[in-house]
Amino acid sequence: MSALLFETGEWNFDTLKRTYDAIEEIAVGEMGLDPYPNQIELISSEQMLDAYSSSGMPIFYHHWSFGKRFARDEAMYRKGYSGLAYEIVINSNPCISYIMEENTMTMQTLVMAHAAFGHNHFFKNNYLFKEQTDASGILDYLNFAKSYILRCEERHGISAVERILDAAHALMDQGVNRYGRKSRPSLAEERARAEARQKHASDQYNDLWRTLPTAVARPAGPGRIDTPRGAPQLPEENLLYFLEKFSPQLRDWERELLRIVRNIAQYFFPQRQTKVMNEGCATWVHYKIMNRLYDLGKISEGSMLEFLTSHTAVVFQPDFDDPRYSGMNPYALGFEMMCDIERIAANPTEEDRRYLPEIAGCGDALGALKDAWANYRDDSFIAQFLSPHLMRKMRLFKLENHAAENHYKIAAIHDERGYTEVRRALAAQYDPGSRDPNIQVTGAALAEDRRLQLTQQLHNDVPLDEREAKAVLGFIADLWGFDVELRGLGADAQLAFSYEIAGPRRGALAAA
């Protein structure tokens, strides 16, 4: 009997199961990966399109922008401009991977290794995901969000809900906490705490307390701020949080909508910061597993060739002067870096020992990789692990584009003088601090005219897209209910620009 897991491209549930077990044996048994339990769901291409439009999540609330995305994706797909992804994987516990029915068995093997073990391990172990997302609660939360928003639509009308969601979506990028916080207690812990509190109160109960006079309520006066949370702590960088808590005019359900959008933005935030690492990890893992399966004689040479074709297409990085170039391919960079770490751990050169003394020659490539996957995000990962060897291999160079000059300048290339500079510049490219505009609430005259002041610290004088910024400012004014001002401060705190929107435009959107 042949040891092959499957002989043809056709798949069925038996081969899937058998192959999954073989992959698991390698991934968990040999490589020691630590993923969430897996749930693999087979879907058709149409369902894949559906999933695309709702950020890949199985449950999502309804909004026209998802309909727009669906219309666009569908048109692109039907005309053959773009293919569909082979899989979608969700950071949840159990980890759900969607795989498409039209994949061949080789592709199913590849995507199971990639998604169900590579991404899955990353989700479970990376510190950002651990701190900022709740993998076991996300589906329940989305379910709640969906039904809550549906109820709001029934109650207050679709337009009213859309008005808030449109505004909230515009602020999604500014609706996240950039730094991890103390982990929130789970429902069970919360309940236990509430019970303990109550028990304490009833233990301490004494009827005499009732007879004591209560403090006289402080009279309302100037300077008193009427918000559920007291005075806001400024500056505040999470605009959605600020508006949810302190907007003087939002109703309760509207605040809840902002909160939902904010929580979802926070859930996706780690994915934006770990694109290179996440894809690099998954790609490296599937590459290892496929090769191992082949070495064990479990997949045929034909399958291996099919796999290699699609693998090389995924990790292809066009040069900067290639018409296909559209920035760094995160799969390519990530995969190269993982392979490079593996090489350095096993066969370091003199140079590697100088640049990366911690891992060079340590012999435990998997250990080094797992440590990197757990404790870094894209920018720190690149700053730490991009080796001169890889910079030479990819022939990286740094191009300076300064507004004041009428030419570009090659600031550094892949040579001894340039390694550090190129590495620093590439890391900065992935730093969310420089990628997203830094905008904070700096003033809210709650006790006076309630004018809201936002301030942007310009980074390298890169301006905001003015048209969009003004449109978003209109949204903020809608939510805030009073005048809003956005100032941009350049170097030396000098004023670079200032936009103002006077008052809200209630109903303006509904009429459009």
Partner 1 sequence: MNIHLVDRRLNPKGKSLPNRQRFIRLAKQAIKDAVVRSIRERSLGDVESKEVVSIPMKRIAEPRLRHASHGGDRDQVMPGNKEFVRGDTLPKPKSGEGEKGSEGAPDGDGEDEFRFTISAEEYLDVLFEELELPDLAKAQLKDTAVLRYHRAGHSSSGSPSNLSLVRTMRHSLARRICLGRPKPADLAALDAEIAELEAKDQRDPEIKIRLEELLTARRQLHAKSRRVAYIDPVDLRYNRFETTPQPSAKAVMFCLMDVSGSMTESMKDLAKRFFLLLHLFLSRQYEHVDIVFIRHTSEAKEVDEDTFFNSRETGGTVVSSALAEMRRIVDARYPVDDWNIYAAQASDGDNYASDSQTCRQLLATDILPICQYFAYVEVYDPRQEEMFLSSLNVSELWKDYEAVRRPNFAMKRVFNKGDVFPVLHQLFAKTRKAA
List the interface residues with partner 1, window 391-420 (CB under 8 A): 394-404, 406-415, 417-418
Single residue of 199, 225, 461, 502 touching partner 1 by CB under 8 A: 461
DSSP state of 236: B
Nearer to partner 1, 239 or 369 (CB): 239
On whether the CB atoms of residues 296 and 305 are closer than 8 A, the answer is: no
The residues, any chain, with a CB within 8 Å of residue 132's CB and separated by 6 or more, are 177, 180, 266, 267, 269, 270
Interaxial angle between packed helices 45-53 and 64-79, expressed in degrees from 0 to 180 and rounded to the nearest 10: 140
Structure tokens belonging to residue 471: 């449109």
Cα atoms found within 13 Å of the Cα of residue 413, Cβ hemisphere only = 5
Structure tokens belonging to residue 214: 């209560």
Nearest distance, CB of residue 257 and partner 1, angstroms = 15
Single residue of 458, 489, 500, 505 touching partner 1 by CB under 8 A: 458
Placement of tokens 């199961």 in the chain: 17
Nearer to partner 1, 304 or 458 (CB): 458
Pick from 457, 447, 453, 439: nearest CA to 494: 457
Nearer to partner 1, 67 or 507 (CB): 67
Nearest distance, CB of residue 456 and partner 1, angstroms = 8
| Rounded-to-integer distance, Cα 249 and Cα 443, Å | 17
Nearest distance, CB of residue 207 and partner 1, angstroms = 54
Nearest distance, CB of residue 73 and partner 1, angstroms = 10
The residues, any chain, with a CB within 8 Å of residue 49's CB and separated by 6 or more, are 70, 73, 74, 77, 84
Nearer to partner 1, 216 or 462 (CB): 462
The residues, any chain, with a CB within 8 Å of residue 261's CB and separated by 6 or more, are 165, 168, 169, 171, 172, 175, 240
Nearest distance, CB of residue 37 and partner 1, angstroms = 6
Nearest distance, CB of residue 285 and partner 1, angstroms = 16
Residues 415-454 that bind partner 1 (CB under 8 A): 415, 417-418, 422, 425-426, 428-429, 436-437, 439
Residues 298-317 that bind partner 1 (CB under 8 A): 317
Residues 2-21 that bind partner 1 (CB under 8 A): 13, 16-17, 20-21
Amino acid at position 182, single letter: K
- Using alpha carbons only, what angle is made at residue 506 by residues 503 and 508, rounded to the nearest 5 degrees? 105
Nearest distance, CB of residue 83 and partner 1, angstroms = 19
Amino acid at position 430, single letter: Y
Single residue of 162, 256, 431, 500 touching partner 1 by CB under 8 A: 162
Single residue of 231, 471, 502, 508 touching partner 1 by CB under 8 A: 471
Residues 34-73 that bind partner 1 (CB under 8 A): 37-44, 46-47, 49-50, 53-54, 62-68, 70-72
Single residue of 201, 219, 467, 492 touching partner 1 by CB under 8 A: 467
Single residue of 135, 472, 479, 501 touching partner 1 by CB under 8 A: 472
Nearer to partner 1, 16 or 368 (CB): 16
Nearer to partner 1, 34 or 371 (CB): 34
Nearest distance, CB of residue 170 and partner 1, angstroms = 5
Nearest distance, CB of residue 158 and partner 1, angstroms = 7
Single residue of 55, 127, 156, 169 touching partner 1 by CB under 8 A: 169
- Note whether 104 binds partner 1 by CB under 8 A: no
Pick from 121, 137, 227, 189: nearest CA to 480: 227
Nearest distance, CB of residue 155 and partner 1, angstroms = 16
DSSP state of 134: -
Residues 135-154 that bind partner 1 (CB under 8 A): none
Structure tokens belonging to residue 457: 């610290």
Nearest distance, CB of residue 260 and partner 1, angstroms = 16
Query: Other CB atoms closer than 10 Å to residue 353's CB: what's the count?
Result: 13
On whether the CB atoms of residues 139 and 58 are closer than 8 A, the answer is: yes
Residues 223-282 that bind partner 1 (CB under 8 A): none
Nearer to partner 1, 25 or 256 (CB): 25
| Rounded-to-integer distance, Cα 362 and Cα 346, Å | 7
- Total number of residues that touch partner 1 (CB under 8 A): 102
**How far separated are the first and last CA of the chain, in Å rounded?**
69
Residues 315-354 that bind partner 1 (CB under 8 A): 317-322, 325, 328
Buried b (16+ CB within 10 A) or exposed e, 390-411: bbeebebbbeeeeeeeeeeeee
Nearer to partner 1, 338 or 464 (CB): 464
Residue 329's SS3 state is coil
